[in-house]
Structure 1
Amino acid sequence: MILVSKMIDVELKGVQKKFGSNVVVENFNLQVEQGECVSFLGPSGCGKTTTLNMIAGFLEPDQGELIIKGKKMNGVPSNKRELGMVFQTYSLFPHMTVFENVAYGLKLRKTPKTEIQERVKKVLELVKLPHVSDRYPKQLSGGQRQRIAIARALVTEPSLLLLDEPLSNLDAKLREELRDELKRLQQEIGVTTIFVTHDQEEAMYLSNRIVVLDHGKVEQIGSPWDIYNLPASEFVHTFIGKSNRLNGTVISASERDGIVLRTNEGLALRASFKGRTFQSGEAVSIYVRPEKIAFSTGTGGGLQAEGRNEAQGRIGQISFLGSYAESEVLLGNTVIHVRMPSDSQNRIWTAGDTVNLQWKPEDVFVFPGKGNEAHG
């Protein structure tokens, strides 16, 4: 069998950007394959939009190489990069109709009128808005305006689509609908896409791979599954999803037997070995996600002979959140969040009940250092 590697559409080699003495992007290395959707994810100020603007040609890197379709783009103007861009704000021309807005880029390229008609019609059908071509932006809803902004970016048939938080100005329901549309469009057209967001759920839903950034540095690059289940650092684990934290100390650690821990509350726990080396007596932060914990019929005595982890606590409150219910369980002064599907079984538990919790060693993550407080 012959393995055919995909073409690399975008490559960043040691890219760096400073504003004054502040390093905003540091030693950024990435390859984006043809047809892939890659998200830049991180908190405000992490460098994701700055990196996108360098790819777009709005900013120049201070160091490193930026390559698109095999061609070095350092110093090449934005309008020579054959890319489409969708911004957080719709950036539609208010005095132009929808048709004129979408056709604008084609007119700048002196595309023949008949071809403009055909391509605008085709792309409006693609975003399911062929009936609004004669309307003005002010006559459209927020979701329709963003669809038109996407259509305008796609009509020039770019080799690369850049999306800068395009859903952040929409309400929750509309965001979900347009997120579905974006995924459908990206897969249908097959255009290489780079998506900037601070919303982890959007990144997980839309991306083939996610680049997690913090303070200008790449913390991890991986599939949504890897980012969530195999975090490379404590920052990645705590930024993606929700997690319970306990502070504690390593009792023993080995690749064969795993890691035995004691929390500051005196609870003995076990974690599977995940490649990190720890020393006996080392202070650590211990994490387990709410959905990995279940109510059990055990004794709640900590580390059990079978290797599972158990603890006993009291339910503080239960919150119903649609598809799941989340319980806050008090272990002394520490709150542990437990998330389970909201089926009929959960109705037997009420606030004030004493419960036993159980979770597997492989669902425990251990990181060096000691935090100041437990949080979910």
Structure 2
Amino acid sequence: MAKTFDVELHGIRKTFGSNVVVDRFDLQIERGECISFLGPSGCGKTTTLNMIAGFLDPDQGELWIKGKRMNGVPANRRDLGMVFQTYSLFPHMSVADNVGYGLKLRKAAKEEIKTRVAQALELVKLPHVADRYPKQLSGGQRQRIAIARALVTEPSLLLLDEPLSNLDAKLREELREELKRLHKETGVTTIFVTHDQEEALYLSDRIVVLDHGKVEQIGTPYEIYNEPASEFVHTFIGKSNRLTGHVTGLRGEHVELLAGQGEQVFTLTASPRGRAFASGQPVSIYLRPEKIYLEPAGQAEASVTQERVSVAGQIRQLAFLGSFIECEVAVGSETMMVRVPAGLQPQSLTAGQQVSLSWHPADVFVFPGKGQ
């Protein structure tokens, strides 16, 4: 059976004056998917969402929703629900009237509005606030009401423009759990715009990583984090140690590298992951903190084995961060961050202690040239 796409973008391009904001954007979103547009400020994610919503028209390319070409079709004819960064609730209306406003514009019967508003409020677990006004609600409650208002019309597509950014950390965590539950219960195709990588990883079936108006990578959260297509994607998603070095040779399916400087230079091997490298080529080398093993009383000198690379270091400082301990370790003139699960961490580790760091070659990422 052929896949059914709710949204299709073909060669979408948008400029403001001489500034290219979105360039050659291609994407197909399956029915029921939750897709995140992720990237730094100014990368084009909100502009793309506004073109899908109908607030902007693309300069080039075609936009299709539910099999219909939408170029030039106004926003009120696209059957969309949208939740903004700000709550955008009418302060003079009760919660029930705010939620039912879209149904009223569609001239739905009063009894139907009453029933569907009650269902929407039940969906966001706020049936008891129907008679209150927005000023009587917390920030988290207001955003849930905004979500209920977007869902009450049973839209074919739900657009979320950084809906959690105005909430404090605890509320953001609670509401993203709520959004995941709502998506599972309603099955509505959802596009979520965010600059927060944790939100994107948590909520998405697939993530679109954008930079300067161009798509860097489209993939599942696992693919984006573990198989980044570019140096930008790797550095934007999660934390990583960066080392500079150069290629010393190729051995079988691995590339051999020399990294570090000053007091300690050490050898690494890594998978090229389909990239071409030449002997002597400068490279950027990345290793995530949670992929590094830390052991007390490490080896005195760096060594290379088939299974792991091991190198000596000294703990500079430790930081307890709840589920893990972050260790800052000096390796010669380099500094490497290591994350150790707090439950497994020996109490004997202290600042100034000599340790051994080790990692698997498969966990090393190498990118040519850029950033040297």
Normalising to structure 1: TM-score of the pair? 0.96
Runs of 4+ with >4 A deviation: none
Distance 1:188 1:90, change over 3 A: same
Match of 2:267 in 1: 268
CA distance in structure 2 between the aligned counterparts of 1:257 and 1:234, rounded to whole angstroms: 21
Long gaps (5+) in structure 2: none
1:56 aligns with 2:45: no
Q: Secondary structure at the match of 1:270?
A: strand
CA distance in structure 2 between the aligned counterparts of 1:55 and 1:370, rounded to whole angstroms: 34
CA distance in structure 2 between the aligned counterparts of 1:82 and 1:151, rounded to whole angstroms: 15
Q: Secondary structure at the match of 1:59?
A: coil
Match of 1:102 in 2: 99
Match of 1:283 in 2: 282
CA distance in structure 1 between the aligned counterparts of 2:346 and 2:211, rounded to whole angstroms: 38
Within 5 Å, give how 1:165-314 maps onto structure 2: 165-254=162-251, 256-265=252-261, 266-296=265-295, 299=299, 301-314=301-314
CA distance in structure 1 between the aligned counterparts of 2:216 and 2:300, rounded to whole angstroms: 36
CA distance in structure 2 between the aligned counterparts of 1:281 and 1:55, rounded to whole angstroms: 47
Distance 1:227 1:344, change over 3 A: closer
CA distance in structure 2 between the aligned counterparts of 1:188 and 1:262, rounded to whole angstroms: 52
Normalising to structure 2: TM-score of the pair? 0.97
Match of 2:330 in 1: 330
Tell me which amino acid in the other structure corresponds to 2:357.
Answer: L
Deviations 1:326-345 (CA, angstroms, capped at 9, x unpaired): 00001122110000100253
Q: What is the Cα-based RMSD across aligned positions, in Å?
A: 1.2
CA distance in structure 2 between the aligned counterparts of 1:336 and 1:194, rounded to whole angstroms: 36
Within 5 Å, give how 1:7-156 maps onto structure 2: 7-156=4-153
Tell me which amino acid in the other structure corresponds to 1:109.
Answer: R
Identity value in percent: 69
| Aligned residues of 1:212 and 1:218 also touching (Cα < 8 A) | yes
Cα offset, 1:369, TM superposition: 1.2
Deviations 1:225-249 (CA, angstroms, capped at 9, x unpaired): 0000000000000000000000000
Tell me which amino acid in the other structure corresponds to 1:248.
Answer: G
Tell me which amino acid in the other structure corresponds to 1:331.
Answer: V
Q: Secondary structure at the match of 2:345?
A: helix
Number of matched pairs: 368
| Aligned residues of 2:81 and 2:150 also touching (Cα < 8 A) | yes
Cα offset, 1:347, TM superposition: 1.6
Match of 2:318 in 1: 318
Q: Secondary structure at the match of 1:347?
A: coil
Cα offset, 1:299, TM superposition: 2.1
Tell me which amino acid in the other structure corresponds to 1:253.
Answer: L
CA distance in structure 2 between the aligned counterparts of 1:311 and 1:190, rounded to whole angstroms: 49
Match of 1:359 in 2: 359
Match of 1:368 in 2: 368
Long gaps (5+) in structure 1: none
| Aligned residues of 1:40 and 1:211 also touching (Cα < 8 A) | yes
CA distance in structure 2 between the aligned counterparts of 1:207 and 1:52, rounded to whole angstroms: 16
Distance 1:34 1:218, change over 3 A: same
Distance 1:106 1:118, change over 3 A: same
CA distance in structure 1 between the aligned counterparts of 2:184 and 2:139, rounded to whole angstroms: 23
